Amino acid sequence: MSAAETNLRALRAQLVERLRDLRDRSQTTADNRRPVELDQTSVGRVSRMDAMQGQAMAVATEQRRHDEARRIEAAIKRIEVGEYGYCTACGEEIAEKRLAADPTVATCIKCAGG
């Protein structure tokens, strides 16, 4: 097995682990995304606006996790089919530094710029 293949296997394992972590976090924070209910009987209750803001932040965080999970799944698929490291728009190689900064990136810097 070549060094490149070994590196891709290690990267795939890291991506799979990150995906698992994202899914676990999504499950544990599900309560924060539930609709806000005002409990008038609680002493020291959080105001409805604070609760709604907390809910909105939880929803936004979950959306970011979902987006990252989609990018990770796509990167894993590109590894499996032998297309990882190549721009999905133009087919050119993606710079190693760009991949090191974000292993889920799908386009070269030229195509990412529009």
Q: Can you give the pLDDT at residue 2? A: 87
Q: Can you give the pLDDT at residue 36? A: 54
Domain ranges in the chain? 3-82, 86-114
What distance in Å separates the CA atoms of residue 73 and residue 3, rounded to the nearest whole number?
23
User: pLDDT tens for residues 75-103?
Assistant: 999 999 999 999 999 999 999 999 999 99
Q: Can you give the pLDDT at residue 110? A: 96
User: pLDDT tens for residues 24-65?
Assistant: 888 776 665 566 555 555 545 557 777 788 888 988 999 999
Q: Are 75 and 99 in contact (CB under 8 A)?
A: no
Q: Can you give the pLDDT at residue 43? A: 44
Among residues 13, 7, 11, 15, which one has the least CA distance to residue 72?
15
Q: Are 77 and 59 in contact (CB under 8 A)?
A: no
- Using DSSP's 3-state secondary structure scheme, residue 46 falls into coil
Run of H or E residues at 111: helix 109-112
- Inter-helix orientation angle 48-80/3-28, to 10°: 160
Q: Average pLDDT of the chain?
A: 87
